[in-house]
Structure 1
Amino acid sequence: MDEQNRDNGPKITKSIINAPTNPMVTPLLTDLYQFTMAYAYWKAGKHNERAVFDLFFRRNPFGGEFTVFAGVEECIRYIANFKFTEAEIDFVRDAMPGKCEEGFFDYLRQLDCSEVEVYSIPEGSIVFPRIPLLRVEGPVGVAQLLETTLVNLVNFASLVATNAARHRIVAGKSKMLLEFGLRRAQGPDGGISASKYCYLGGFDATSNVSAGRLFGIPLKGTHSHAFVSSFMSLDEILEKSLRSADGSTLCEDFVNLVQTWLNKIQRTKFYGGFGETNLSELAAFTSYALAFPENFLALVDTYDVLRSGVPNFCAVALALKDLGYKAMGIRLDSGDLAYLSCEARKFFQAIESEFGVTGFGNTTITASNDLNEETLDHLNKQGHEVDAFGIGTYLVTCYAQAALGCVFKLVEINNQPRMKLSEDVSKVSIPCKKRCYRLYGKEGYPLVDLMVGENEPAPKVAERILCRHPFNESKRAYVVPQRVEELLKCYWSGSSDKMREDMLPLKDIRDRCIRQLEQMRPDHMRRLNPTPYKVSVSAKLYDFIHFLWLNEAPVGELQ
């Protein structure tokens, strides 16, 4: 939605930031209790008190020990364009569980994020539990209204980007990964978001045309089984001519050229025993090649991969080769992918040897059919010849885990640290405004992420620092960092004059993700039994956490 379509545009004029990609991302995309709390804050005169909230998660997804952080740009777009329309205020008035004073709606009417500051870890970074991904500072009323939307924008984005990165790690750097999940995604926005963040997480292309337009993601796709089975015979091909790739000659009967090559293939020694191919499939391949001679990729499993699909593809590919074109390859969408890919590779290599077609043995083999991380791992162990994987359902739905579990916790109000306690230690929050650092060791790998109080000195290179587990007294270690990186950077400065980070193009964010994955120690990234990455606090912050814990926790009385 263009910002002029909103009744009241944002007051912030530092620079124009586009509206959220999804027009449903408005101030109403939140939970009702955010409005009831906002009214209670306003009624108590607390709505303008300065608060600090941390957005973080407690556990890495998919049984792993890393997460890819995504969704920052959409969060900033939302914050920059945060403004209620009159229609939205009217709806809130009717939706509130009780009658509210009209002054509250006047408050909502003038509300924006000009007094809010947002600090974030850069999008595409590798992140870990408890470290604040976003720190939101501002009047408690508006900051509270941001909570649900920010969590929503980060949660799925980070989950699916992490899922994509895990698939990339298993597949290896050399394989092409294609996201084919739109038809199985949870609704239109699930499909669009998945395409964007799968690309961020290391995928190479998508079949989603809308995502390609919105985000500049490369598009890939061929035909379906319906196209193959829609042909009955070669007689259906009415326009048979095809001009050569350089435009110098015209082949008046490309169909005959394809049939000639099929006959040659069928007379070779390596073809013996395969029998006749399905000629309606041959007609479909030939027709598709006539339509897209520079991008001919055939789905070869409609009838029989080895007895029909692969030989028919080769006949069409060799006919294209005669006219100066290079066929792109085949796609396998069913069956034993390891076995079929190996047999298809042997067939291509035999064609290269028999007819002297240089490079034909390296013809690209793409595999699809409900692939997931585990399937890729099994294929690697079995041995396969697949060059590219088209992955859909298990990738975009994050089938292995429903949600990342991000939370948004108040850690400070009016400069007073606040802390949420729980009998479940994993749910105890770390109080106060914090600065976060990544400490690197001698081999260049990150060793630990460290949180310190806002006013503590930053850790220094080559200077020993005590890093402590936030809650476990015995877990502590000295670290002498060889490099120190501050994690949180200002991405929205409101009306202040603070410099803020630029939003990078999606391709650059993807490059950051891939680069950071390569920088991590391999044992943190492995699929089975990964080594937990250390997240720590300074000794001073550790002491303060436990001091505040004791002060806030009620003291029991035994009788």
Structure 2
Amino acid sequence: MTTTCEDNNLNNADSETFSISNYRRDSSHCFYQNRVIQPLLTDLYQITMAYAYWKSGKTHDVAVFDLFFRNNPFHGEFTIFAGLEECLKFLKNFHYSVGDINYLKTVLPDGVEEEFFEYLGKLTAKEVTVYALDEGSVAFPRVPLIKLEGPLIIVQLLETTLLTLVNYASLMATNAARYRIVAGPVVKLLEFGLRRAQGPDGGLSSSKYAYIGGFDGTSNVLAGKLFNIPVKGTHAHAYITSFSGFDELTNKELPHNHSGITADLLELSIEHRRNLSSVLHISTAEANDGELAAMVSFAIAFPNGFMALVDTYDVKRSGILNFCSVALALNDQGYKPVGIRIDSGDLAYLSCLARQSFVKIAEDYDLPWFADLTIVASNDINEETILSLNEQGHKIDCFGIGTHLVTCQKQPALGCVYKLVEINNQPRIKLSQDVDKVTMPGKKTAFRLYGTEGWAVIDILQKDDEEPPQVGKKVLCRHPFHESKRAFVTPARVETLYKVWWKDGAIRQPIPTLEDVRNRVQESLQTLRHDHLRHLNPTPYKVAVSDNLYNFLHDLWLQNQPIGELS
């Protein structure tokens, strides 16, 4: 969870109490990381393995680990890689404090030597090298998101923390990207999930990665402050129901936006409501006076940003009429309202009804802008809801999405894993009766091959010492486990997927801004054919291995697979 120094007024000590006490500052890059992200944010068995490694004399062993996932989430065929920045900051800050060591002494068995704790106290990530995809890139199963090389004990200790930093971030960014795809490029998407998220840290992370995935703003004020995300919001039903009649309005006057001449906004609204009754064919007797009073009150408070919740009582018989009355009153005083939010009911029908009303008023009052007032819809919206609304021809300009977005309703975890693939230059493989769980051994690199039409065609994994694919030259691409599945690909463009992000104790690439990562997501998705992105039965994107890696994998498999004996 990061923010730039410019986003926070560091001179204002009172306003920075939360950030200073809960976020650790990185002086060289001027950003923050939640203090919860530390070496002890790990599983106990990482510490016990570290001791066993140390006890076995493996302090100088050099290991290579791959962090990857086996299946795309949400029954889709793509994943957005996110969380890299947090991983890099964790590596930069990696160090066991005196307090950490003292605590571990109470957790580990009494027989653990003092020398081991001294060893732990000196550990840093300076000897680790990290290769990774660009954050915000589209990624696919088996292609490592991150590759780590370094002392065995250290890279082992990094496992759990790196997984927790990547798993939810990538899942959340992918979920948000899927919402963006079904909503289309024009409709605005706002994240409203803080109150339903898995705790405060989950709420902040969901706001950040929803924005990266393609959402336009958040209701989360702290996320706006920390990450410079646009903050949006209106009011709750409680605001409307807190007014029961006109007599509760103590302030009814609003100065004209240009002349400064004040007018009674309630009187103007009542007059417009009376006139609009015949225009919209809605009886004023059915409209709720408390709702009108609440809207007038809110409009006086926010004349340049008036957006009202219209479903507290009845959208058709009360909400739309009252809103339009106040909107016209604001227009009389030189202001333009923003629009409405609908939080319940038949969203397609009600949005069409609202738009028809706005268009009618625009024509009758010669106010063209009135036809384009914003309609926001919320109410437990998920992907299927948006797809259904699209089929029904809704007139919604913006969706406010909370629960199903931040909790990742369809799939609560991505399932990234962290596997040892080489130690001391010797490849390692994990076997399983479940072929999907067989690991790709050895140091590898990956390339994305593009066809003549510009689309990404296939990702290919190959051994680290192989020549990279060349534009215009045939490349034999093989399925890692099915011998007969193979094809030649002649790439029109070849993209190297990995960069060195961390080496010799320093970040080796410029850290992209949140906006850069957000743009990267959309650019990366645009390289995929539509059939890979569609909601129903998407076409799987192909991930292959080179012929050399295929043979290497299967030779090592046979070497390590016990030979059965029948009798």
Deviations 1:417-453 (A, max 9, x none): 1111111000000011111110000110000001111
Is the contact between residue 20 and residue 78 of structure 1 (CA under 8 Å) also seen in structure 2?
no
Deviations 1:495-527 (A, max 9, x none): 48xx82111110110011011112210000011
Is the contact between residue 2 and residue 19 of structure 1 (CA under 8 Å) also seen in structure 2?
no
Aligned partner of residue 409 in structure 1, secondary structure: strand
Aligned to 1:487: 497
| Distance in 1 of aligned mates of 2:412 and 2:180 | 20
Q: Which amino acid aligns with 1:533?
A: Y
Report whether the alignment pairs 1:219 with 2:231. Answer: yes
Q: Which amino acid aligns with 2:422?
A: E
| Distance in 2 of aligned mates of 1:146 and 1:552 | 27
Aligned to 2:425: 415
| Distance in 1 of aligned mates of 2:435 and 2:527 | 31
Measured at CA, do residues 449 and 164 of structure 1 come closer, stay the same or move farther in structure 2, by a change above 3 Å? same
Is the contact between residue 225 and residue 299 of structure 1 (CA under 8 Å) also seen in structure 2?
yes
Report whether the alignment pairs 1:204 with 2:212. Answer: no
Report whether the alignment pairs 1:161 with 2:173. Answer: yes
Following superposition, the deviation at residue 47 of structure 1 comes to 2.4
Is the contact between residue 25 and residue 32 of structure 2 (CA under 8 Å) also seen in structure 1?
no
Deviations 1:300-335 (A, max 9, x none): 000100111011000111111122211110000000
Deviations 1:138-194 (A, max 9, x none): 101010000000000000011111111111111111100000000000001111000
Which one of 299, 303, 320 corresponds to residue 289 of structure 1? 299
| Distance in 2 of aligned mates of 1:9 and 1:507 | 21
Report whether the alignment pairs 1:243 with 2:255. Answer: yes
| Distance in 2 of aligned mates of 1:541 and 1:439 | 17
TM-score by length of 2: 0.94
Which one of 542, 547, 565 corresponds to residue 539 of structure 1? 547
Which one of 522, 528, 544 corresponds to residue 530 of structure 2? 522
Is the contact between residue 299 and residue 333 of structure 1 (CA under 8 Å) also seen in structure 2?
yes
Which one of 260, 265, 277 corresponds to residue 254 of structure 1? 265
Out of 375-384 and 252-261, give the one that drifted further: 252-261
Aligned partner of residue 137 in structure 1, secondary structure: strand
Following superposition, the deviation at residue 243 of structure 1 comes to 2.0
Aligned to 2:139: 127
Following superposition, the deviation at residue 553 of structure 1 comes to 1.1
Aligned to 2:454: 444
| Distance in 2 of aligned mates of 1:5 and 1:189 | 15
Report whether the alignment pairs 1:513 with 2:521. Answer: yes
Following superposition, the deviation at residue 48 of structure 1 comes to 2.5
Aligned to 1:347: 357
Report whether the alignment pairs 1:62 with 2:70. Answer: no
| Distance in 2 of aligned mates of 1:256 and 1:48 | 82
Aligned to 1:366: 376
Aligned to 1:312: 322
Measured at CA, do residues 332 and 495 of structure 1 come closer, stay the same or move farther in structure 2, by a change above 3 Å? closer
Report whether the alignment pairs 1:395 with 2:405. Answer: yes
| Distance in 2 of aligned mates of 1:297 and 1:3 | 31
Aligned partner of residue 21 in structure 1, secondary structure: strand
| Distance in 2 of aligned mates of 1:111 and 1:66 | 37
| Distance in 2 of aligned mates of 1:152 and 1:312 | 48
Task: Map 1:37-76 to 2 at 5 A.
Answer: 37-76=49-88
| Distance in 2 of aligned mates of 1:276 and 1:227 | 20
Is the contact between residue 439 and residue 483 of structure 1 (CA under 8 Å) also seen in structure 2?
yes
Question: Please, which runs of 5 or more residues in structure 1 have no aligned partner?
Answer: none
Measured at CA, do residues 9 and 392 of structure 1 come closer, stay the same or move farther in structure 2, by a change above 3 Å? closer
Out of 16-25 and 46-55, give the one that drifted further: 16-25
Following superposition, the deviation at residue 2 of structure 1 comes to 11
Aligned partner of residue 288 in structure 1, secondary structure: helix
Count of matched residue pairs: 550
Which one of 524, 543, 548 corresponds to residue 556 of structure 2? 548
Aligned partner of residue 267 in structure 2, secondary structure: helix
Q: Which amino acid aligns with 2:271?
A: T
Aligned to 1:110: 122
Question: Please, which runs of 5 or more residues in structure 2 have no aligned partner?
Answer: 1-16
| Distance in 1 of aligned mates of 2:282 and 2:323 | 17
RMSD (Å), alpha carbons: 1.9
| Distance in 1 of aligned mates of 2:25 and 2:58 | 26
Measured at CA, do residues 156 and 338 of structure 1 come closer, stay the same or move farther in structure 2, by a change above 3 Å? same
Task: Map 1:269-288 to 2 at 5 A.
Answer: 270-272=280-282, 275-288=285-298
Of all paired residues, the percent bearing the same amino acid is 55
Following superposition, the deviation at residue 262 of structure 1 comes to 1.2
| Distance in 2 of aligned mates of 1:482 and 1:158 | 29
| Distance in 2 of aligned mates of 1:72 and 1:541 | 27
Measured at CA, do residues 9 and 224 of structure 1 come closer, stay the same or move farther in structure 2, by a change above 3 Å? closer
Following superposition, the deviation at residue 237 of structure 1 comes to 1.7
Out of 150-159 and 486-495, give the one that drifted further: 486-495
| Distance in 2 of aligned mates of 1:490 and 1:3 | 30
Report whether the alignment pairs 1:431 with 2:412. Answer: no
Aligned partner of residue 435 in structure 1, secondary structure: strand
Aligned partner of residue 149 in structure 2, secondary structure: strand
Following superposition, the deviation at residue 110 of structure 1 comes to 0.6
| Distance in 1 of aligned mates of 2:30 and 2:502 | 14
Is the contact between residue 17 and residue 80 of structure 1 (CA under 8 Å) also seen in structure 2?
no
Is the contact between residue 332 and residue 366 of structure 1 (CA under 8 Å) also seen in structure 2?
yes
| Distance in 2 of aligned mates of 1:465 and 1:346 | 57
Following superposition, the deviation at residue 494 of structure 1 comes to 2.4
Deviations 1:361-393 (A, max 9, x none): 111110000000111111111221111000000
| Distance in 2 of aligned mates of 1:551 and 1:20 | 48
Is the contact between residue 64 and residue 525 of structure 1 (CA under 8 Å) also seen in structure 2?
yes
Q: Which amino acid aligns with 1:555?
A: I
Following superposition, the deviation at residue 410 of structure 1 comes to 0.4
| Distance in 1 of aligned mates of 2:29 and 2:390 | 44
Q: Which amino acid aligns with 1:437?
A: F
Aligned partner of residue 550 in structure 1, secondary structure: helix
